[in-house]
């Protein structure tokens, strides 16, 4: 079982990250995956999160208690959710938006300027898809093909190509990051 938490501020497409991942895992990767989201008085601009629990068998407890993987796309979300990340977990952040403290325990941190990359591609709204591509390459929890297959219906049809481009940008950057990590070892 793997617990994943996506976090950021309302309006960044954080819930969408959970939806796309959950759909890719459930429908195109033969896993069981539930997606729940923080349902509080969250408003646009404040910290929000979506949670995906992945398992070989039926998910019994759909909430994340101590995530193995935390994705943070805002400082507030990082500050709020980072303390719950497992000490051997993976932390993935937008490095322009999050100033991370020195990592606890054996936490491995991966950084990407996802919002900046999205702006370079022409629309910052796709920053979440850049992040999703990066997340896919780093965690290898599901194939990039499955993720892309999950996009129709979850991103507006007319922006599908742009979203795929954003995903690829993040994915390639993630692969490079992984390759460099291997070389250093």
Partner 1 sequence: MKKIKADPKGVLTGAHYLDGDHSLAEGGLAAGCRFFAGYPITPSTETAERFSERIPKVGGIFIQMEDELASIAALIGAVWGGKKAMTVTSGPGFSLMMENIGLACMMETPIVIANVQRGGPSTGLPTLTGQQDMMQAKWGSHGDYEIIALSPDSPQECFDLTIEAFNLSETYRVPTFVMTDECVGHMHEKVVIPPAEEIELVERKWYTGPKDKYLPYKPDKDMIPFMVKAGDGYRFHTTGLTRDERGYPVINAECQDVCVHHLVDKINKNADKIIKLEEQEIDNAEVIVISYGITSRVTTRAVEQARKAGIKIGTIRLITVWPFPEKRIKELAKKVKAFVVPEINCGQVVLEVERCAAGQAPAIHVPHCGGWVHDPDDIFKAIKEAAK
13 binds partner 1 (CB under 8 A): no
- Site residues for partner 1, window 40-79 (CB under 8 A)? 40-41, 58-63
Strands 32-37 and 47-55: antiparallel
Q: Compute the CA torsion angle 105, 95, 4, 153 (nearest 10 deg).
A: -170
Least CB distance to partner 1 at residue 112 (A): 26
- Site residues for partner 1, window 136-155 (CB under 8 A)? 150
Q: Which is nearer to partner 1, 54 or 138 (CB)?
A: 54
Radius of gyration of the chain (CA): 15
Rounded Cα distance, 114 and 57, in Å: 33
Least CB distance to partner 1 at residue 40 (A): 6
Residue with tokens 């400082």, as numbered in its chain: 75
Least CB distance to partner 1 at residue 168 (A): 22
Q: What is the DSSP letter of 30?
A: S
Counting residues that bind partner 1 (by CB under 8 A) gives: 22
132 binds partner 1 (CB under 8 A): no
150, two tokens: 């999950």
Among 19, 48, 118, 137, binds partner 1 (CB under 8 A): 19
157 binds partner 1 (CB under 8 A): no
How would you class 5 by CB atoms within 10 Å of its CB: exposed for 0-12, middle for 13-18, buried for 19 or more? buried
39 binds partner 1 (CB under 8 A): yes
Residue 52 near residue 16 (C-beta atoms within 8 A): no
What residues line the site for partner 1 (CB under 8 A)?
A: 18-19, 22-23, 26-27, 32-37, 39-41, 58-63, 150
């Amino acid at each position: 079982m793997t617990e994943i938490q996506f976090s950021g501020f309302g309006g960044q497409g954080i819930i969408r990250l959970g939806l796309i991942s959950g759909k890719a895992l459930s429908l195109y990767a033969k896993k069981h995956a539930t997606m729940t989201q923080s349902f509080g008085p969250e408003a646009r601009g404040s910290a929000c999160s979506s949670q995906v629990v992945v398992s070989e068998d039926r998910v019994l407890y759909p909430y994340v208690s101590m995530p193995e993987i935390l994705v943070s796309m805002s400082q507030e979300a990082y500050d709020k959710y980072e303390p719950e990340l497992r000490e051997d977990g993976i932390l993935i952040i937008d490095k322009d938006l999050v100033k991370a403290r020195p990592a606890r325990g054996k936490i491995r941190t991966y950084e990407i300027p996802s919002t900046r990359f999205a702006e370079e591609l022409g629309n910052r709204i796709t920053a979440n898809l850049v992040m999703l591509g990066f997340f896919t390459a780093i965690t290898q929890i599901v194939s990039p093909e499955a993720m892309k297959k999950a996009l129709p219906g979850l991103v507006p049809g007319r922006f599908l190509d742009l979203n795929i481009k954003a995903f690829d940008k993040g994915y390639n950057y993630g692969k490079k990051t992984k390759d460099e990590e291997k070389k250093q070892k």
